Amino acid sequence: MTVVTHRSAILNRCTYSVHSRFSLVLHALLLLYLFFDFALTFSFLLSVRNNANLTLMCKPQRYLRYTATIITIERNMRFFYHSCLTTLTLLWIIWILTFLSGDVHPNPGPIDSNNSLDYSFSSNSSSISSQELVPDITTSLDISHHLSFVHYNVQSLYPKLDILRTELRDFDILAFSETWLGNEYKTDDLLFHNFKSPERKDRSGDRHGGVILYVRDTLFHKRRPDLELANIESIWIEVVSNKKHFLFGVYYRPPNANALYSNIIEDSIHMAIDTGLSDIIIVGDFNYNTLNSQSNRKVLSICTQFALTQCISSATHFTEHSESIIDLLLVSNKESIVTCGVGDPFLQQEIRFHCPIYGLLKFSKQRIKPFKRRIWQYELGDYNMLRREISSLNWDDLKAENFEEYTNNIVNTIISLSKEYIPNKEILVRQSDLP
């Protein structure tokens, strides 16, 4: 995952000692200026004095003109050297202010695993050491054999659809919170390739909040509105994979939610537990910071009450001066989780940003049966002969009283002629084949 203003995007550049090289050049220029300014000025004044002694024997008019010229040249030289000094001083001040601002890393570059130095990145968010960085989930996980899911607080879904489609295309269930969607956004405009039409719940009367779920088209699922209570932002679905049923829910709890809101969330979770399904997965931004003792006690209380396990232990949210764990993963059966964790952020979230959380389940993926497919080598087709054949064809012979039969006759005739003049072959497509 790549983030711009993101930790990984800055730490993955080539290592160069910008600080030391720039400092060395400035010091060298300053020393050269001081040396040449003194040497040239001394030499010039000595020459002027010698020439002045010689010109005393000349006529007074020539001597005055000569002296005035010398004084003018001396002033111009001093102005030139002082201008250079002023320019170098300004460059020095700009360089100091740039590095004091914290927006430029003094030594950007990839972290050598054998290097024990602690490179840190300072942005508008809190300083985070490279050792705290979490793996890129799109490259570090083998999710081809297990069902996988991811939750991400996206802070406005619509303008980020393209990057989300690209980065998370291999996961099976995508849960997003803070979608910031309203009635003006049609569901057909939010589709992901190889995923079913999303299940969404927008916040009414407000352009913020909201949750949405995407399920891969190879999975069977149904929405469970009976578990979604009014006045809270949540979606519940029941997923079936290889005859294995489990519940998957996503929540968004606003940071200013009152106690009543929290109680409704607990009632909703209680209803999910009462379904009797042994595997229940809950993700979302709960705005309960488990790094804070008071908030952590609240999360532990929920887990104890419903026999759940909170699986996220790394920071998921970063602000200018803090980090917190507010994006949570609650499971009823920890043995069903192969692995889980926090991924690198890759969305443009300038000051405060979330990281995605992910998980792999022990449930195997539904295998797709091999199917046949015809591929065409259009670049090798003989289109002149194809045009002649089509032009000479008596289309009236294809007519039929039944509209579907008439349509099939036309389609089959065109395909039959195309097979003769465009090279083609039939292949068997398997699930393991690369796209």
> What residue spans define the domains of the chain?
17-106, 128-364, 371-429
CA angle 341, 347, 352 (to 5 degrees): 85
The residue assigned the tokens 């927008």 is 202
Pairing mode, strands 146-153 and 357-364: antiparallel
Separation CA 5–CA 346 (nearest Å): 9
Q: Name which of 146, 165, 142 is nearest 154 in CA terms.
A: 165
Beta carbons within 8 Å of 161's beta carbon, 6+ residues apart: 190, 192
DSSP 195: B
Q: Name which of 252, 121, 248 is nearest 176 in CA terms.
A: 252
pLDDT of residue 308: 97
β-partners of residue 342 are 357
pLDDT of residue 348: 83
Give, in words, the CATH class of 128-364. alpha beta
Q: Three-class SS of residue 424?
A: strand
Separation CA 165–CA 262 (nearest Å): 32
Could you list the pLDDT tens digit for every one of the 435 residues in the chain?
Answer: 433 333 343 333 333 334 445 555 656 666 666 555 555 555 655 555 555 554 545 545 555 555 666 666 666 667 666 777 777 777 777 766 665 554 454 445 444 433 333 323 233 333 333 333 344 555 556 777 889 999 999 999 999 999 999 999 999 999 999 999 999 999 999 999 999 999 999 998 888 999 999 999 989 999 999 999 999 999 999 999 888 899 999 999 999 999 999 999 999 999 999 999 999 999 999 999 999 999 999 999 999 999 999 999 999 999 988 999 999 999 999 999 999 999 999 998 777 899 999 999 998 876 667 778 899 999 999 999 999 999 999 988 899 989 899 999 999 999 999 999 999 998 888 755 655
